[in-house]
Structure 1
């Protein structure tokens, strides 16, 4: 449980840093909103993303996996509809947010030790 909370905190911090880099196209009102966003993204990635990947498997294989970027952008746009205080200006900004947040999240997770399976 502690590892999950650490990953949520790291994801919230990554979302705040990503928002800072992508201003004004992406907006998060507060750190509490970023925590809620991290929690919603974790749930969407656990529940919705596997279904989207399964349903779009032929397209994903045809594009050699590049369609997964589209799925990530759709997840971000869905989170923007669910989380009050989180706004993204469009599909391309959602895709860029997804890419940048993934990179920042990876760096922060390795620094915080959130990737350990203890």
Structure 2
């Protein structure tokens, strides 16, 4: 249970850092980032596998590079859902979503490595 909350906090912190790095991504506060992390987790768990399966031929033809576009679509969908529920998370366009997806995965990976050093599994 502790690792779930730790992962959730890492995702929220990563989202705040990404919003500060990538222009076009806005997070109003840390509680908004925590709620946005839940929405992103939901989209990644439910919608992203379906999109990945439907675009599998494009991913194979592009040697996996189309998965960056799938990640951008997932992040844009999470932003749209967050806007529908009045969560303070917004992405303005495709390019910020694409760069944001790349930066978010890098930042969360880096923070995750540092946080998991002291956690026993």
TM (normalized to structure 1)?
0.92
The aligned counterpart of 1:77 is 76
The aligned counterpart of 2:29 is 30
CA-based RMSD of the aligned residues comes to: 1.5
Distance in 2 of aligned mates of 1:112 and 1:66:
29
Query: Shift of residue 31 of structure 1?
Result: 0.5
Distance in 1 of aligned mates of 2:91 and 2:4:
26
Distance in 1 of aligned mates of 2:48 and 2:26:
23
Distance in 2 of aligned mates of 1:117 and 1:91:
39
Query: Shift of residue 39 of structure 1?
Result: 1.0
The aligned counterpart of 1:3 is 3
> SS of the residue aligned with 2:26?
strand
Deviating 4+ runs (over 2 angstroms): none
- In the alignment, structure 1 residue 107 sits paired with structure 2 residue 106: no
Query: Shift of residue 52 of structure 1?
Result: 0.8
The aligned counterpart of 2:99 is 96
Distance in 2 of aligned mates of 1:111 and 1:98:
20
TM (normalized to structure 2)?
0.90
Distance in 1 of aligned mates of 2:64 and 2:94:
18
> SS of the residue aligned with 1:65?
coil
Query: Shift of residue 117 of structure 1?
Result: 7.5
1:20-63 CA deviation, whole Å, 9 max, x = no partner?
A: 1124x111011011001111111111111111111111111011
Distance in 1 of aligned mates of 2:120 and 2:73:
29
